Amino acid sequence: MEEYAKRVHDPYFQPQTATTTVAEDSLLNRVWVPGPVIVGAGPSGLAVAACLKNQGIHALILEQTDCIASLWQIKTYDRLCLHLPKQFCQLPLMPFPKDFPTYPTKQQFLAYLEAYAKQFDLKPVFNTMVVRAEYDRGCGLWRVKTKVNEYVCRWLIVATGENAEEVVPKIEGMNEFIGPILHTSSYKSGDCFVHKKVLVVGCGNSGMEVCLDLCNYNACPSLVVRDSLHVLPQEMLGRSTFGLSMCLLKWLPIRVVDRFLLLVSHFMIGDTNKLGLGRPKLGPLELKNVTGKTPVLDVGTLAKIRSGDIKVYPGVKRLACNNVEFVDGRIEKFDAIILATGYRSNVTTWLKDTDLFSEKDGFPTKPFPEGWKGENGLYAIGFTKRGLLGTSMDAARIAEDIARQWNESMKHLKSFHNPAP
C-alpha cells in the first residue's frame, strides 16, 4: 500500500486496466486516498462515514450534487414525513432530538442529517459524480473516476441508494398529451394544481400521499392502481404498525403475524378490495421478504377514496391530447399526470466487473443480510430494501470490517518502521 502510494504520484507510473487507455488516464489527476472512498452523501454515506470516524478512520465522500441527502432535499414533496417512527430511522451513534415528533417532517429529518454531518465533521466533496469505478488487479486497488480526478483506494463503499434514478414508464401517446407529465421527484405540493384534474400513476406510499396532498389543495386527483397491494393503517392498537410487527415477529412466525395484521386492518379500514385496491395473495410481511414490495401505510388517503374525492382507475392504455384511455376501455380528460412510478439503482452504470451487484437491477446479488460485502474491499450500504434501519445495520458491519483490516495494516506498518531490536 505504502509502495503504491509513492508510485501513484510518479507521472511515469500507469496502473494496468483493461478498459481505459493511457491517454484517457493521463488527463485525470490521480489522488491517493489512504482510507475508504464512499460514493454518495445520502443518509447511508453519512452513517458509514460516521461509524468509520468513530473507529478512527477518515473516509472520503464523493457526492454528485451540491448538498447532503439530495434525495430528501431536492426530490421529495413538501408534506413528506418519515413513514416509519423515528426510532427506526435514526442513524448510528446519534439519536433524534427528544422533542421531535414520532414521525419527523422532511425539514426535521434534514436538520438532523445536517447536525449529524457536523457532529462527525463529515465534509463530502460536492459536485463530484463518480462516472466509473473498477478494481485494478495489477495493483490490488480501486480506481474511482470522476470527470477530473481518479481516486485510488483500498476500500470502496457504494452508498448511491436504491432511489438513484427515476423510473419513467413508456406510455403510448405520451408525446401527444398536452398537459404536464411529471415524476413525483419533481412534485413539491398541490398549489399549482388547484381545481385541476390530475391523474396519479402508481400507488405506493408516494402516489397515495401525493393524491392526499392534491385533495388538500382542492385539486381533483385520480389514482391508477394496476397491481394488487397491501394498505395497512399507520398505527394499530396504539402503536406504529411497523413497530408492532417487529415486536410480534420476535415471538411468532411471519404468516401468523401477517394474518393478525390483516385482521386488525380489516377491522380498522374495512375491505380495501371494495375500493379497487385488491390485496395480494401473500401477506404484507411475507411479500416484503420475498419481493421487497413495501406495504402502503395509510395516512388518510383511504378515507378520501371512500368519500369519492379520489377516484381509482385500472392501468393506463394510451394517452392522446388531454384524454387518458384506461385498460377497461374508459376514456377520461385530465389536465396533468404525475408518475409515482418509483426509482431504480444506478450502480450498473458506473461500477464495473463486480459480482456484488446484479447487472439486472443494480442491487446486491446476495439476499439480506449478506449483501453488504463483496470481494477486494468493496462494500454496499443502503441496498437492503429495509430503509434506514437496514442502513444502520450495514454501516456498523462495514466500519467494523474495515477497522479490523486497517488496524492489521497499521500494526504491520509499525513493525516495518520500528523493527524489533
Ligand X SMILES: Cc1cc2nc3c(=O)[nH]c(=O)nc-3n(C[C@H](O)[C@H](O)[C@H](O)COP(=O)(O)OP(=O)(O)OC[C@H]3O[C@@H](n4cnc5c(N)ncnc54)[C@H](O)[C@@H]3O)c2cc1C
Residue 402, SS3?
helix
Quote the CA–CA distance of 96 and 90 in Å, as a whole number: 6
Nearest to 340 by CA among 109, 176, 186, 175: 186
Of 48, 60, 80, 395, the one binding ligand X by CB under 6 A: 80
Q: Closest separation between CB of residue 9 and ligand X, Å?
A: 25
The reply on whether position 142 binds ligand X by CB under 6 A is: no
Q: Which span (21-29, 157-165, 244-252, 359-367) binds ligand X, by CB under 6 A?
A: 157-165
The reply on whether position 350 binds ligand X by CB under 6 A is: yes
The reply on whether position 83 binds ligand X by CB under 6 A is: yes
The reply on whether position 35 binds ligand X by CB under 6 A is: no
Q: Closest separation between CB of residue 368 and ligand X, Å?
A: 14
Of 15, 35, 36, 40, the one binding ligand X by CB under 6 A: 40
Residues with Cβ within 8 Å of residue 130, at least 6 apart in sequence: 39, 62, 64, 144, 145, 146, 350
User: Quick check: 314 and 326 in contact, CB under 8 A?
Assistant: yes
End-to-end CA distance of the chain: 25
Q: Which span (61-69, 92-100, 247-255, 372-380) binds ligand X, by CB under 6 A?
A: 61-69
Nearest to 321 by CA among 177, 180, 197, 179: 177
Of 49, 62, 139, 229, the one binding ligand X by CB under 6 A: 62
Comparison of 26 and 127: residue with beta carbon closer to ligand X:
127
Nearest to 282 by CA among 302, 254, 307: 254
Q: Which span (40-48, 172-180, 211-219, 261-269) binds ligand X, by CB under 6 A?
A: 40-48
The reply on whether position 43 binds ligand X by CB under 6 A is: yes
| Phi then psi dihedrals of residue 384, to 5 deg | -95, -5
Q: Closest separation between CB of residue 416 and ligand X, Å?
A: 35
The reply on whether position 44 binds ligand X by CB under 6 A is: yes
Comparison of 47 and 236: residue with beta carbon closer to ligand X:
47
Q: Which span (29-37, 59-67, 260-268, 318-326) binds ligand X, by CB under 6 A?
A: 59-67
Of 17, 20, 65, 345, the one binding ligand X by CB under 6 A: 65
Within 167-252, strands assigned E span 181-183, 197-201, 220-224, 231-233, 235-236, 239-240
Bridge partners of 60, per DSSP, are 37
Q: How many residues bind ligand X (CB under 6 A)?
A: 35
Residue numbers 202-241 binding ligand X by CB under 6 A: 206
Q: Closest separation between CB of residue 297 and ligand X, Å?
A: 9
| Phi then psi dihedrals of residue 138, to 5 deg | -60, -45
The reply on whether position 64 binds ligand X by CB under 6 A is: yes
Query: Of all residues in this chain, which one has the CB nearest to ligand X in the complex?
Result: 42
Of 48, 50, 52, 89, the one binding ligand X by CB under 6 A: 89
Comparison of 54 and 346: residue with beta carbon closer to ligand X:
346
Of 152, 171, 198, 388, the one binding ligand X by CB under 6 A: 388
Q: Which span (43-51, 270-278, 311-319, 366-374) binds ligand X, by CB under 6 A?
A: 43-51
Residue 274, SS3?
helix
The one-letter amino acid at 28? L
User: Quick check: 336 and 181 in contact, CB under 8 A?
Assistant: yes
The one-letter amino acid at 220? C
The one-letter amino acid at 327? V
**Cell numbers describing residue 228:** 394488487
**Cell numbers describing residue 349:** 452504470
Quote the CA–CA distance of 97 and 114 in Å, as a whole number: 13
Of 50, 84, 201, 285, the one binding ligand X by CB under 6 A: 84
The reply on whether position 313 binds ligand X by CB under 6 A is: no
Q: Which span (13-21, 33-41, 268-276, 287-295) binds ligand X, by CB under 6 A?
A: 33-41
Residue numbers 112-131 binding ligand X by CB under 6 A: 129-130
Q: Which span (155-163, 172-180, 234-242, 286-294) binds ligand X, by CB under 6 A?
A: 155-163
Please spell the DSSP secondary structure of 241-271, one letter per residue: HHHHHHHHHTTS-HHHHHHHHHHHHHHHH--
The reply on whether position 345 binds ligand X by CB under 6 A is: no
String of b and e for 176-197 (b: at least 16 CB within 10 Å)?
ebebebebbbebeebeebeebb
User: Quick check: 180 and 334 in contact, CB under 8 A?
Assistant: no
User: Quick check: 67 and 40 in contact, CB under 8 A?
Assistant: no
Q: Which residues bind ligand X (CB under 6 A)?
A: 39-45, 62-65, 69-71, 76, 80, 82-84, 89, 129-130, 159-164, 206, 346, 350, 382, 387-388, 391
